[in-house]
Amino acid sequence: MKISINKDYDKMSRAAADLVVEQVKAKPGSLICFPSGDSPAGMFKYLIEDVKAGRVDLSQCYFVGLDEWVGLGKDDDGSCTKFLYEHFFTPLQADMARVKFFDAKAKDLDAACLDMDAFIKLHGPLDMMIVGIGMNGHIGLNEPGTDFNLYCHHAPLAQVTVEVGQKYFKKQTALTEGITLGLKYLQEAKTAVLLAAGAKKAGIIQQALDGDISQHIPASIFQTLPSSVILLDEGAAGDLAH
C-alpha cells in the first residue's frame, strides 16, 4: 500500500490521471474500472485533455463502471452511468462496445451481476480498479459488513449512503439498493487505486488506513493490498499518523 499525499484536489486528480496514462502506455488493451462521483471528476478532465493532446491513446482499452443505483440507468439524472457518460465516455468519443455498465434496471439483478462478471472474465483480469471512499468507509456500493470475497453483487444501501447520495439528484430520490463490483475484484486487480479529497474524508481515511482491517470499514481492505495506491489531498490525509 503506497500512500501519496498531494497538495490539493487538482494535484491529486493529475496524479490519478498519470497513473492511468502509465498503465495504458504499458498495456494499450488494459481493462480499467472507473467510479463516478466528485472524487474522479478531475481525473477524467485531465484524461480527456491527455487524449486530445495525443499524450495517450485509450482506444484499445476496455472499461467497466464500478456501480449503480438499482432502478437507474444512463438516461436518469443522478445515475452513476450517466455521470460517466457525461464526464468521460461521451467527450472521449469512446467505442461503447468496449465499455460495460451494470443493467441496474434488470428484472433479474443476479443475472446482471453475472453479465458483468462475464465481461470482466473475458477481458480481464482488471489491470486497474479505481475507487473512492464513502463517509462510512464503503467502496463502490460495498457497504459496511460486506464479505471481502464477493464478486459482483447487489445489496441494500446503508442509510448514510442514501442521505449523502441525494447530492447527485435535483430532487429527493428514493435509493434502496446498489449493484456493484465486489471487493474480491479489488484484491485481484493488478493495481487498486483509492481516491479521496477534502477534510470531510479525513476521519474515515484514518480509520480505513490506520485502524483495524474489518468488514465494518470496507476500505480497510486496502491495508491488505500490496500493489495498491492511495491518492489523497492534504485535507483527506489530515488525520493520518505520519
Catalytic residue IDs:
67, 136, 138, 143
* Residue among 240, 158, 242 nearest 207 (CA): 240
Cα dihedral 12, 20, 194, 16, rounded to 10, equals 0
Cβ-contact 31, 124 below 8 angstroms: yes
Cell of 123: 477481458
Cα dihedral 19, 63, 141, 128, rounded to 10, equals -30
* Residue among 59, 156, 173, 152 nearest 110 (CA): 152
CA distance 59 to 127: 16
Burial class (CB within 10 angstroms; exposed 0-12, middle 13-18, buried 19+) of 55: middle
**CA 227 remoteness from chain centre:** 17
